[in-house]
Structure 1
């Protein structure tokens, strides 16, 4: 039997990365599309169940409450049972509750269904992050993650364009049934085709013990990254939740046409997310260099958008704000993903994502109340606070993996130099 060629191992590793990126992109695309559908049907829900904007915001928040609460348990499950298995559980469960949302008969039923849906989706992000870390090298990681997470912005383009006509013809319930079916298809693909982890990438389960969990939660630097994610998510989820209703109710834009308008900032977000991942790899972390100027631009253009007198100005200013904020998504993960030990990636990344989901939980009802009590202008202006929080946390967090390891203690992994020596040996 002939020995494998020297190029065989690098080729196999490259295939592992490509296949992992494609499958995780598809899973995140469905994940994001499933949660975006609710924003498109809020006007229909308000009319059918006689709901004010504050109540509509609570429907969105019910998802984020459960999603936030399940981040850390999801990280524990991923560290204990493996990323592939937990991702499969999540995909099947959230597809089920997406379909059940289409059968909701009251405001209370909607809250229950969205809470259960959020719990099912909540265990997915840390498992997906762990799956990526196990199948990439540190030098590949943020570029690959940028491609994967661009799926969120792609979903923001595709979902309104595909779902708005569906709602117009078949009603709001059909949107949930169709996206649930997509989730089942992606589950099958992940179950059958996700590659095995790279050699030596599977860590022990010490992080999933009570002692390991307590050690993780006591590391203050992770919570500062979580606050940075909170500020980012206030902006993105505040806009995503309320722009469809604003365009319909305040500007008189039909839902199908609103879908086309929403595609413009979403395309900007997709481009910025990929670019942010590449910048993160090039800068070796140093997120302050991206986040401070980007969030300053986002804050200015959010205010211009909020008080724009024309629809064209609203969309143009909003697109610039979304592009600037989306540049920050990959950089805010770059240092923790490079600096965390493999055993703590699941729980550590869950802490950061938890901060983002709290932002998604807070922004929709606060904006709904502001829109009812004052105006949509006040509601959109509120989002500039998210940019301020994110920028402040960028100043208060380590700027590279070595600085992160110095303050993370036992959660810190080996240096990238040591990792590269190990991989080449």
Structure 2
């Protein structure tokens, strides 16, 4: 019989893995938007002040931020398959029990549990990118996964709004979404694997292709051991500042966007759901465009340093301009379209999830991703509270939008301080 092993065509199962991660991140953000969409009803039932609403919206991030670094460590030690499966079961449970809350304090406690359970999910994408993708595919991998976030918000906004309308109950919406999330734990265990060689659907040709596409970094790891984080602390702080500033804008829109559309633009619940869909579906498109375009530029010989900094700077500049314009906009349709334009460009920030795999050695990708997302999560803690305080003292969203514009400026600054030409920090093996 003729031996055709050398002619074997590589499978492409790595993209199935990232399609699954895309779907899981979509559900992840659908769970989070549930509270924002339901808040106009919840605040009436529990008689919540703007500051208390901000605390409830923020409480998810208290545990989420605190456990980012431990979550990254768990990923490096136990692998994404086990960690993601456990996370899905946990966050679905806490999402469901929010539907049984009887006070604002009960909601805060459930949201803290939700944040703890979700903490390893986003860093797991960076970990999977380092083992499943070549260096020229990581821009696409980052945005395919992270584009699930704005899509989850877009679809979740409409879905949750309609669930509340259909059942005339925000509580049932939480319970249904939570049970659905728990069921996805079985999907994650069935499909995900920590390494390509562990999956029966991946042939040897695909394993060889991935290994050859990372041959430089693999040689570095073989000859040296990682020192500290694997990147300099200056670089880590630049990544964290850029990501946190981006997060101020993203989480600000996610948590308070529906309230802005209701209070400042006078939209009803159905219109809020439709507007949220439009804004974040444009964000999904921007996210995907940025990743595929960066990989195209890198394939054409342009360095990651130039390609990433150029696109991310453009992203921040457009966001800054939009937020400076919005306070003077009184037409709801114009406001929604401007927010959609801002979302398209600001979602270029999903490229940050390619940074750990590009900059850090394989045994520190989870940890670096954990630090980066901890900064993003700290923004998630602060911005709902800050927006609530600004609203309580000013009575309008003008100051809030100006604050988002300032954050977009710091997002540009942090990105420009990152040097993608730097090699990982290694020490010779003795």
What TM-score do you get using the length of structure 1 for normalisation?
0.88
Select the residue among 92, 112, 117 that pairs with 1:120. 117
Matched residue, 2:144: 147
Q: Is the 8 A contact 1:87 1:128 kept in 2?
A: no
Select the residue among 345, 352, 376 that pairs with 1:356. 376
The answer to whether structure 1 residue 289 and structure 2 residue 310 are counterparts is: yes
Distance 1:291 1:196, change over 3 A: closer
Select the residue among 385, 390, 403 that pairs with 1:370. 390
CA deviation digits over 1:128-167, x for unaligned, max 9?
Answer: 3212322222222221221121111111211111110111
Distance 1:7 1:355, change over 3 A: farther
Distance 1:309 1:21, change over 3 A: same
Matched residue, 2:271: 257
Q: Greater shift after overlay, 304-313 or 360-369? A: 304-313
Matched residue, 1:417: none
1:122 Cα deviation from its structure 2 partner: 0.7
Q: Is the 8 A contact 1:76 1:346 kept in 2?
A: yes
1:216 Cα deviation from its structure 2 partner: 5.8
SS of equivalent residue, structure 2 residue 196: coil
Matched residue, 2:301: none
Describe how 1:148-167 pairs up with structure 2 within 5 A. Answer: 148-167=145-164
CA distance in 2, matches of 1:411, 1:176: 50
Q: Is the 8 A contact 1:226 1:351 kept in 2?
A: yes
Select the residue among 118, 127, 132 that pairs with 2:129. 132
1:328 Cα deviation from its structure 2 partner: 2.8
The runs of at least 4 aligned residues of structure 1 exceeding 6 Å deviation read 200-204
CA distance in 2, matches of 1:411, 1:111: 45
The answer to whether structure 1 residue 168 and structure 2 residue 188 are counterparts is: no
SS of equivalent residue, structure 2 residue 62: helix
SS of equivalent residue, structure 1 residue 6: helix
Q: Is the 8 A contact 1:142 1:280 kept in 2?
A: yes
CA deviation digits over 1:265-313, x for unaligned, max 9?
Answer: 1111001100111133234422221122221111011121233121122
CA distance in 1, matches of 2:77, 2:194: 17
Matched residue, 1:422: none
SS of equivalent residue, structure 2 residue 137: helix
CA distance in 1, matches of 2:143, 2:6: 29
Q: Is the 8 A contact 2:91 2:182 kept in 1?
A: no
1:198 Cα deviation from its structure 2 partner: 2.8
The answer to whether structure 1 residue 89 and structure 2 residue 80 are counterparts is: no
Pairwise CA RMSD: 2.5
Distance 1:4 1:144, change over 3 A: farther
Distance 1:260 1:79, change over 3 A: same
Describe how 1:9-408 pairs up with structure 2 within 5 A. Answer: 10-11=10-11, 14=12, 16-170=13-167, 171-195=169-193, 197-199=195-197, 215=229, 219-284=233-298, 285-286=304-305, 287-330=308-351, 332-374=352-394, 375-398=396-419, 400=420, 403-405=421-423, 408=424
CA deviation digits over 1:185-211, x for unaligned, max 9?
Answer: 32111111224613587999xx9xxx9
CA distance in 1, matches of 2:57, 2:31: 12
Distance 1:385 1:105, change over 3 A: same
Q: Is the 8 A contact 2:158 2:273 kept in 1?
A: yes
Instruction: Give the paired residue count.
Output: 398
Q: Please, which runs of 5 or more residues in structure 1 have no aligned partner?
A: 413-425
1:174 Cα deviation from its structure 2 partner: 1.4
SS of equivalent residue, structure 2 residue 162: helix
CA distance in 2, matches of 1:8, 1:78: 32
Distance 1:293 1:19, change over 3 A: closer
Q: Greater shift after overlay, 69-78 or 368-377? A: 368-377
Q: Please, which runs of 5 or more residues in structure 2 have no aligned partner?
A: 198-206, 299-303
CA distance in 2, matches of 1:76, 1:141: 21
CA distance in 2, matches of 1:99, 1:86: 20
Distance 1:167 1:7, change over 3 A: farther
Q: Which has the higher contact order (CA 8 A, sep 6+)?
A: 2
Q: Is the 8 A contact 1:63 1:118 kept in 2?
A: yes
1:7 Cα deviation from its structure 2 partner: 4.5
Distance 1:30 1:333, change over 3 A: closer
Q: Is the 8 A contact 2:238 2:418 kept in 1?
A: yes
What TM-score do you get using the length of structure 2 for normalisation?
0.87
1:9 Cα deviation from its structure 2 partner: 5.5
CA distance in 1, matches of 2:295, 2:77: 29
